[in-house]
Amino acid sequence: MTAPVEAPETSGATTGGLLRYVRRIGGDDAVAEVLARAGTAATAAQLDDQSRWWSYDTRIRLFTAATEVLRDPRTMYEVGAAALQTGLAHSLVILLRAMGSPRQVFGTLPRAVQKFSTTSTMEILETGRTTATIRYRLHEGYPHSRLDCLYAQGLLSTVPAIFALPPAEIEHDECQSDGHAACIYRLEWAHRSRLPWRRGRTPAVDPELHALRGQLQILQSAATDLVASDDLETVLERIVGRAAEAVLAPAYLLAVRSPTGGGPLVHSAGVPEERVAELAAALLSGGDLGSGAVVADIVSPRRSHGRLAALYRPGDQPMGDEAAMLAAYAGHAAAALDLLIALEDTRREADRAGALLALAHALAAVEDVDSICAVVAEALPQVVGCASAAVMLWDPAGSQLQARASVNLSREATGLLLGARLRPEDTPELMNLLTSREPQIIRDADSSPALRRLLADIDVADVVAVPLVTAGTFLGVVTASWETGQAPDQLCGDVLARLRGAGDQAVSALQRARLLETVRHQAHHDSLTGLPNRVLFMERLLAALPTAGPGAHLGVLFCDLDGFKRVNDTLGHAAGDELLRQVAARLGAAVRPGDTVGRLSGDEFAIVLPGLEQPVDAERLAARVVDCFREPFRLEGREVAVGTSVGVAVHAPGNGAEDLLRQADAAMYRDKRKTHLPPTAGTLSAGA
């Protein structure tokens, strides 16, 4: 349950001490009834948290409710008088006891009040060896309460008890509730004899010993509490919450260096939100937070984690050696952070090892290049610990690097990255990758202009790029990236090793994919011309059949070269092979972009013509195919005329792929049987 936010006017030490007294007298039911009557939304645990502060109104409502529930008009005096047992911080008792005498304690009480309230001021009008006169005034704008006055009297009476003396006697005949300008308290206490047999009856438990035991228990409890969680944010929050048990102050600030890099981890209590970042930066850098700050380093033999500060209001100052008490607590906090960070490191390494194994399994299940890039990019943030990642592949034909997959970028940034083309002449970083084949650490502040613009567009500040290289061939890069302030202090070491490990897996997968692509291409394409072979041609024809219909007729052309055998016999098979390659190129240039040209066998070619508006369009395309044979071919230094016979078939209801091909083949033979002119001089075969 989130605690309600109230004006910081009353310390949790006051509200917690009240509830502990009520619980001691009336039990948990009495505490529940006090909370109900007071109408507060806070829980008993929240009111008992000494790092929290509450409004003056909540304070008086709790005082009133407790008096009603316990049915004793002097309840608040007793609460104050019992503060050594129930409400006063053990650390404060130790500090006050170190002052040596009640007189010296009363002299410093105005500074002690700042630890409990921001709504009142205390002045010491006179102190003697066993007497003191104190002026206590509630600030303007707050209605004075006799219950608050009784509580103050009870607290004042306990001061001699800190030194194992009887409580002070108090005379109070001027009260602010009666219209006086302030409350005046005149105190008298017993003289502390140096002779033990003249001190009178000694309390069963010495207050200092009780406070020391309590402080030890608090430190032990704090140590246990801090290591009870395996969540860093929870531990940091507990460090701030427990700091009040070491030093009671209006505000606390904790700034810890992130164990994984990036900006500091900051937690606070009682600090205005708008000042947290500024004060945290000053605290962590060792800057001056003013005379009202008690600062302790959270440092262990293993590492320096950060700093913890208890902060007083301007003009207020710490009491005694509070820095030593906060330092003792900070030592426990450092030990807890050591343990937690060690656990986090172990867990993180296990997660990353698992992520690398999962990456290997995922890559084994994908075969195409784009899927491999996507799988690798998706795994990199967990493997490396980066904010975003990408895989970029080198295009040898265009001499450029292009992103094929990215993760954890905005949609707009992803589009910009995938659309970018990095060229060596514009990007020195890419030239370094191409020539050195070594990883590059790229920071936006000192990168080349082209790369700096790209990094700014995709909101990335720091990048580690590892080249993907196999057998001396540059395939591309994998990149791990961070926004401003997120990157680890050192972009090398483990980060680089993990990124290289992922890159090695990517290289193996890309090699396998490209080998598979080669095998598949060879299985579906003619090795001589690069055209689809009979298997792929029939697949394309079958795929086009469902689209055939009125307005989108499907045609097939079957082509056979006239005089191909004569070329082989006259010029040799090398010339015949070159002829087939040139024929494939001419056919590809003659048809439409969506048509498929295939080499079925020998000198037989076929063409799938999908989406014809009219069946006659197939005849027109056949004529274009014949026309592309009008120019002679250049073979072995000679111009050789080679013609073709073309058969046309158009899909009709009930036709299958084999039917269409068979009809086109038959039409081609009919065309070949037509009368051809005899070859002219220097011509091996004439066109149809």
Per-residue pLDDT reduced to its tens digit, 495-540: 777 888 888 888 887 777 676 666 677 778 898 999 999 999 999 9
Task: List, for residues 330-386, the tens digit of each pLDDT value.
Answer: 777 777 777 777 766 666 666 666 777 777 787 777 778 888 899 888 888 888 888
**In CATH, 534-673 is 3.30.70.270:** yes
Are the C-beta atoms of 556 and 660 separated by less than 8 Å? yes
Could you tell me what percent of the chain has a pLDDT over 90? 37
pLDDT at 185: 94
670 pLDDT higher than 50:
yes
313: confidence class by pLDDT, cuts 50, 70, 90: confident
Q: What does the pLDDT read at residue 380? A: 87
The answer to whether residue 9 scores a pLDDT higher than 80 is yes
Mean pLDDT of the region 596-614:
93
- pLDDT score for 110: 81
Q: What are the tokens at 290?
A: 């003013």
Fold of the domain built from segment(s) 10-204: H-NOX domain (3.90.1520)
pLDDT in tens, 156-207: 998 888 788 889 999 999 999 999 999 999 999 987 654 444 444 444 455 5
Q: Does residue 56 contact residue 9 with C-beta atoms inside 8 Å?
A: yes
pLDDT of residue 416: 92
Q: Alpha-carbon distance 242 to 112, whole Å?
A: 19
pLDDT at 239: 75
Q: What is the mean pLDDT of residues 25-37?
A: 95
**CATH code for 210-343?**
3.30.450.40
> CA 289 to CA 282: how far, in whole Å?
7
Instruction: Please report the pLDDT score of residue 93 as a whole number.
Output: 63
Residue 495 is predicted with a pLDDT of 76
Output the CA–CA distances (angstroms, integers) from residue 213 to 97, 216, 242, 426, in the order listed. Answer: 14, 5, 17, 71
DSSP codes joined into one string, 256-300: E--TTSSSPEEEEESS-HHHHHHHHHHHHHT----TTEEEEEEE-
The pLDDT score that the predictor gives to residue 286 is 87
| pLDDT mean across residues, the chain | 83
The pLDDT of residue 493 is 66
Higher per-residue confidence, 245 vs 274: 274
Domain coordinates in residue numbering, the chain = 10-204, 210-343, 366-521, 534-673
Q: pLDDT of 102-156, one tens digit each?
A: 888 888 888 777 778 889 989 999 999 899 999 999 999 999 999 999 999 988 9
Which CATH number is correct for 366-521, 1.10.1760.20, 2.60.120.10, 3.30.450.40, 3.65.10.10? 3.30.450.40
pLDDT at 679: 42
More confidently predicted of 684 and 6: 6
| pLDDT of 234 higher than 90 | no
Of residues 23 and 233, more confidence is placed in: 23
Q: Is the pLDDT of residue 678 over 70?
A: no
- DSSP H or E stretch at residue 463: strand 462-470
Calculate the alpha carbon distances from 556 to 456, 609, 628 in Å.
Answer: 53, 6, 18
Mean pLDDT of 531-550: 90
Q: How confident is the model at residue 483 (pLDDT cuts 50, 70, 90)?
A: confident
Contact present, 643 and 688 (Cβ < 8 Å) = yes
What pLDDT does residue 381 have?
Answer: 86
* Residue 677: pLDDT over 50: no
User: How much is the average pLDDT of 315-324?
Assistant: 72
Predicted local distance difference test score (pLDDT) of residue 515: 66
E strand or H helix at 133: strand 131-138
- Per-residue model confidence (pLDDT) at position 655: 85
Helices (H), 286-427: 322-364, 369-384, 411-419
Q: What burial letters (b/e) apply to 153-174, b meaning 16+ CB within 10 Å?
A: bbbbbbbbbbbbbebbebebee
Using alpha carbons, list the distances in angstroms from residue 153 to 117, 138, 184, 187. 15, 14, 10, 10
Check residue 681 and give its pLDDT: 34
Question: Residue with structure tokens 């072995």?
Answer: 636
pLDDT band at 675 (very low <50, low <70, confident <90, very high): very low
Per-residue confidence (pLDDT) for residue 686, from 0 to 100:
33
Q: How far apart are CA 685 and CA 69, in angstroms?
A: 120
Which one has a higher pLDDT value, 211 or 461?
A: 461
279-301 tens-digit pLDDT: 988 998 888 888 888 888 888 87
The reply to whether 366-521 shares the fold of 210-343 is yes
- The model's pTM: 0.50
Return the pLDDT at 193. Answer: 59
pLDDT tens digits, one per residue of 43-74:
999 998 877 889 999 999 999 999 999 999 99
Query: Residue 212 carries which side chain, given as an amino acid letter?
Result: L
Average pLDDT estimate for 624-644: 92
657: β partners: none
Collapse the DSSP code of 214 into the 3-class scheme (helix H, G, I; strand E, B; otherwise coil) and give the result.
helix
Higher pLDDT: 98 or 40? It is 40
- pLDDT given at position 687: 36
Q: What is the mean pLDDT of residues 27-43?
A: 94
Average pLDDT rounded to a whole number, residues 599-619: 93
Is pLDDT of 33 > 60?
A: yes
Residue 320 has pLDDT above 80, yes or no: no
